[in-house]
Amino acid sequence: MTAHDYDLIVIGSGPGGQKAAIAAAKLGKRVAIVDKHDMVGGVCVNTGTIPSKTLREAVLYLTGMSQRELYGASYRVKQDITIADLLARTQHVIGREVEVVRAQLLRNHVDVIDGIAKFVDPHTLAIEGRSRTTISGGKIVIATGTKPARPGEVDFDQARVLDSDEILQMESIPASLVVVGAGVIGIEYASMFAALGCRVTVVEQREQMLEFCDPEIVESLKFHLRDLAVTFRFGEKVVDVAVNSIGTVTTLASGKRIPAEAVMYSAGRQGMTSELDLEKAGLEADKRGRLAVGPHYVTSVNHIYAVGDVIGFPALAATSMDQGRLAAYHAFGEPTNELAALQPIGIYTIPEISYCGATEAELTTSSVPYEIGTARYRELARGQIAGDSYGMLKLLVSTTDRTLLGVHVFGTAATELVHIGQAVMGCGGTVDYLVDAVFNYPTFSEAYKVAALDATNKIRALEKFRP
């Protein structure tokens, strides 16, 4: 029964791997998790989510951006913000988070093994770290995440031409920056650099950005970013980046040339599977390095699971965590639910965006009749106090049964506020619950009541015409 060194070996210590390891340990299993010493916590803690969200907080604080409606356009907490100012906070938070992750793994008796894992056979892994070891596991979870996709023809020098994982290595804040790719990563970093006073040009080959979000909210974001001197080049493809000692010139397929101090690539990510020797486990990745999984995150080899970014969409920290937990439960026969269908999306641009449930476009395509209820932050006492006049919350309400179908938020605390709507939708609640609910005053949460009243007023007007 105990022929293997471990009941479960997890490859990768990002959110998916951590939760798989801890879930199995809680079931009394012998668990090991493998990652490089300096990557404990994964891309999430070391180069992705946590650094980018902490940088954003540092930018918002030091620039005084969110206080300028109250104290004037020239308000700053610090005049000359340096990269060191920004990195101090980021490194502090990363350090603390790594400690939290390590402590959680250790107190659950998970062996944390330093190194890169490669398959030797479907149950055995060779670990190349400070020393070389071989371990075997009854079950294996692959949670190796992704790395930035880099076009072969571009010379990345970690100084003037960087990918989004290298932002923390920048030596100074550039006066101008080209961002290649207007995905979530590109737009989040574009907002931060623009807030720092950097002239940002975003180049995106598609005609639109963030097309999965509410178009009205994306329009508001574009307006704000243009106001911070961001230039958008949609429908344009980067074909070359030239570098010399003073800066870069980015050439687009249309022939346009954009000079800038630095270029950041955020043009998608590639699954981290090339080092795994997958063929020795009987597995194969697709051309973007991703692994296909069936129900319960089982790969084509039935004792090997894959979770997190390495399996593709939605590629978010929160979903990766739950996929990890569910995979481990399934591996050891613990009853589980499916991953919750209702998941929020939070985009930490400046201002931030968040939504949950359906978009107007989806409801229109599927012929679901709905009404909109809107609350503007400038009509809320908390909006005035916080100096946010641009924020808004929009509810999409079924005109058939008054259930809440979607919530879309733009502005201060959007990524927190969305969870109220998520909870109501998750419980099958109607707009009437929000009409009758009493919220703390003055809060942003009150926006739900204002928007709910707006929606019910419109539905009432509609109902007068009922035959």
Ligand X SMILES: NC(=O)c1ccc[n+]([C@@H]2O[C@H](COP(=O)([O-])OP(=O)(O)OC[C@H]3O[C@@H](n4cnc5c(N)ncnc54)[C@H](O)[C@@H]3O)[C@@H](O)[C@H]2O)c1
Contact positions toward ligand FAD, by CB under 6 A? 11-17, 34-36, 39, 42-44, 48-49, 52-53, 116-117, 143-146, 164, 185, 272, 275-276, 308-310, 315-318, 320, 348
**CA gap 439, 118 in Å, rounded:** 53
Q: Which is nearer to ligand FAD, 297 or 448 (CB)?
A: 297
Give the angle 146-149-153 at the CA atoms, nearest 5°. Answer: 155
144 binds, among ligand FAD, ligand X, none (CB under 5 to 8 A by kind): ligand FAD
**CA gap 319, 308 in Å, rounded:** 7
Residues 135-194 that bind ligand X (CB under 6 A): 180-186, 188
450 binds, among ligand FAD, ligand X, none (CB under 5 to 8 A by kind): none
Residue 302, SS3?
A: coil
Residue 464, SS3?
A: coil
Among residues 198, 218, 230, the alpha carbon closest in space to that of 63 is found at 198
Pick the binder of ligand X from 92, 96, 109, 206 (CB under 6 A): 206
**Residue 268 makes contact with ligand X by CB under 6 A:** yes
183 binds, among ligand X, ligand FAD, none (CB under 5 to 8 A by kind): ligand X
**Residue 205 makes contact with ligand X by CB under 6 A:** yes
CB 291 within 8 A of CB 306: yes
CA distances from 369 to 149, 287, 358, 429 (A): 41, 40, 12, 17
**Residue 352 makes contact with ligand X by CB under 6 A:** no
Least distance CB 263 / ligand FAD (angstroms): 16
311 binds, among ligand X, ligand FAD, none (CB under 5 to 8 A by kind): none
Least distance CB 267 / ligand X (angstroms): 3
Least distance CB 341 / ligand X (angstroms): 17
**CA gap 439, 370 in Å, rounded:** 25
Among residues 283, 240, 244, 275, the alpha carbon closest in space to that of 261 is found at 244
Least distance CB 287 / ligand X (angstroms): 14
> What count of other Cβ atoms lies within 10 Å of the Cβ of residue 229?
13
Spatial neighbors of 291 by CB under 8 A, at least 6 apart, are 142, 271, 273, 278, 283, 285, 299, 306, 310, 311
As beta bridge partners, residue 114 has 35
272 binds, among ligand FAD, ligand X, none (CB under 5 to 8 A by kind): ligand FAD
145 binds, among ligand FAD, ligand X, none (CB under 5 to 8 A by kind): ligand FAD
For residues 29, 30, 35, 39, the Cα torsion angle rounded to the nearest 10 degrees is 60
**Residue 350 makes contact with ligand X by CB under 6 A:** no
Pick the binder of ligand X from 192, 200, 263, 267 (CB under 6 A): 267
Pick the binder of ligand X from 26, 102, 150, 237 (CB under 6 A): 237
453 binds, among ligand FAD, ligand X, none (CB under 5 to 8 A by kind): none
Q: Which two tokens stand for residue 164?
A: 């989004």
Pick the binder of ligand X from 34, 45, 196, 203 (CB under 6 A): 203
53 binds, among ligand FAD, ligand X, none (CB under 5 to 8 A by kind): ligand FAD
What strands, in cross-sheet order, belong to the sheet with 247-252? Answer: 238-244, 247-252, 257-260
12 binds, among ligand FAD, ligand X, none (CB under 5 to 8 A by kind): ligand FAD
**Residue 64 makes contact with ligand X by CB under 6 A:** no
43 binds, among ligand FAD, ligand X, none (CB under 5 to 8 A by kind): ligand FAD
DSSP line for 337-394: PPPPS---EEE--SS-EEEEE--HHHHHHTT--EEEEEEEGGGSHHHHHHT--S-EEE
Least distance CB 266 / ligand X (angstroms): 5
Site size for ligand X, by CB under 6 A? 24
CA distances from 73 to 36, 178, 387, 462, 464 (A): 45, 25, 12, 44, 48
Least distance CB 54 / ligand FAD (angstroms): 11
Q: Which is nearer to ligand FAD, 62 or 98 (CB)?
A: 98
E-strand ranges in 383-449 read: 392-398, 404-410
Query: What does the binding site for ligand X look like in residue numbers (CB under 6 A)?
Result: 180-186, 188, 203-206, 237-238, 266-269, 314-316, 346-348
